[in-house]
Amino acid sequence: MLVLARKVGQSIVINDNIQILVIEVRGDQVRLGIEAPRSIPVHRKELLEQIRAENVNAVASTDVETVTDALRKDSAES
Amino acid sequence: MDMRVETTRFGALEVDESSVVRMPRGPLGFEDQKEFCLIQHRPDMPFRWLQSTSDSALAFVVIDPAEYFVGYEIEISDLDAELLQLTCAEDSLVLVIVTVGKEGKTVTANLAAPVVVNSKTLVGMQIVLQDGRYLTQHLLLAQEERVSMENATAKAA
């Protein structure tokens, strides 16, 4: 991993077409600005990990009877 | 044209090609799973199964979010629209993956990462929304208790 130290207002350029700018540092939080082509997805890492974990959870819970009963209750209406 | 799909939950099924969804990138955590079929196992139930056509044990429960979450709106990024070959919103079928908790006591839906399918080409993918409002575990409420998105709360499973 490449480790660089940046001050507020300084940037990092990746591959000529991605720029990360340090906008603000407040306490232990850094506000970053990211400029990248629209073709490149940019996401918070923990969100991706959360989604992966939830997908795995979702698959583990798929016993047909349990699922049908649970969802039947949820949609039970007149 | 029919396709034979082996499933651990429903045995061997003959599915119509029109229910087969191809994903250039599989769901997160299952990126190598690129082909699924949509199964309505119980026609009287409002959910379907997104069943892998190659892994018989891999299936997700999916629902139409519009049935449960009033005001759920997603924005599909340019990149995702391009990957899905989507030219207009009407062509998109939006599904969300449901997690059933232990013994069926809680049911949550992943609103942060819906599965969007181009209903014309049957190309689909799970997209990650930039919108911070939506959580990976939104509690499902009975239809008569549906509340607007501003009031919905999430509960950890």
Q: Is the same domain home to A30 and A50?
A: no
ipTM value? 0.85
- The verdict on A1 and A32 lying in the same domain is yes
Per mean pLDDT, which range of A12-16, A20-24, B1-5, B52-56 is the poorest?
B1-5
Closest CA to B61 of B115, B133, B134, B129: B115
How far apart CA B58 and CA B144 sit, in angstroms, is 32
In order, the DSSP letters of chain B are -EEEEEETTTEEEEEEGGGEEE-SSPSTT-TT--EEEEE-S-TTSSEEEEEESS-TT-EEEEE-GGGT-BT------HHHHHHTT--SGGGEEEEEEEEE-GGG--EEE--SS-EEEETTTTEEEE-----TT--S-EEP--GGG--BTTT--B---
How far are the Cα atoms of A9, B31, B44, B99, B103 from residue A75, in angstroms, in the given order?
53, 31, 11, 15, 17
Hey, what CATH topology would domain B2-145 get? BH3618-like (2.30.290)
C-alpha dist (Å) from residue B56 to A25, A56, B90: 49, 15, 31
Show residues of chain A in contact with B137, CB under 8 Å: 54
Q: Considering only alpha carbons, which residue of chain A is nearest residue B80?
A: A39
Residues A33 and A49 in one domain: no
CB of A62 within 8 Å of any CB in chain B?
yes
A54, A73: one domain: yes
Residue B141 pLDDT grade (very low, low, confident, very high; cuts 50, 70, 90): low
- What type of residue sits at position B123? V
Q: Which domain holds residue A49?
A: 43-78
B-chain residue closest to A61, CA distance: B100
Q: Are residues A29 and A54 in the same domain?
A: no
Task: Say whether both A31 and A58 belong to one domain.
Answer: no
**Nearest CA-CA distance, residue B6 and chain A, Å:** 16
Give the up-direction half-sphere exposure of residue A2: CA atoms within 13 A in the CB hemisphere: 5
pLDDT for A74: 58
A45 touches chain B (CB under 8 A): no
Query: Residues A19, A50: one domain?
Result: no
Residues of A in contact with B77 (CB under 8 A): 38, 41
**Contact (CB<8Å) B144/A77:** yes
Q: How far is B1 from chain A (nearest CA, A)?
A: 27
Which phi-psi region, left, alpha or beta, contains residue A31 (left: φ > 0; alpha: ψ -120 to 50)? Answer: beta
Taking the C-alpha atoms of residue A60 and residue B89, their distance in angstroms, rounded to an integer, is: 32
Percent of chain A with pLDDT over 90: 68
CA distances from B153 to A41, B47, B69, B135 (A): 28, 21, 11, 9
Residue A71 to residue B101, Cβ atoms within 8 A: no
A47 and A33 within one domain: no
Nearest residue to B47 via CA among A61, A77, A71: A71
Interface of A with B in 12-41 (CB under 8 A): 38-41
pLDDT digits (tens, 9 = 90+) for A55-75: 999 997 778 888 888 887 655
My answer on whether A34 and A48 are in the same domain is: no
Say what the pLDDT of residue A10 is.
98
The answer to whether B30 contacts A71, with C-beta atoms less than 8 Å apart, is no
pLDDT at B142 over 60: no
Count of structural domains, chain A: 2
Domain ranges of chain B: 2-145
Q: Please check whether residues A1 and A34 belong to one and the same domain.
A: yes
Bridge partner residues of B148 (DSSP):
B70
* Nearest CB to A66 within list B100, B142, B143: B100
β-strand partners of B154 = B138
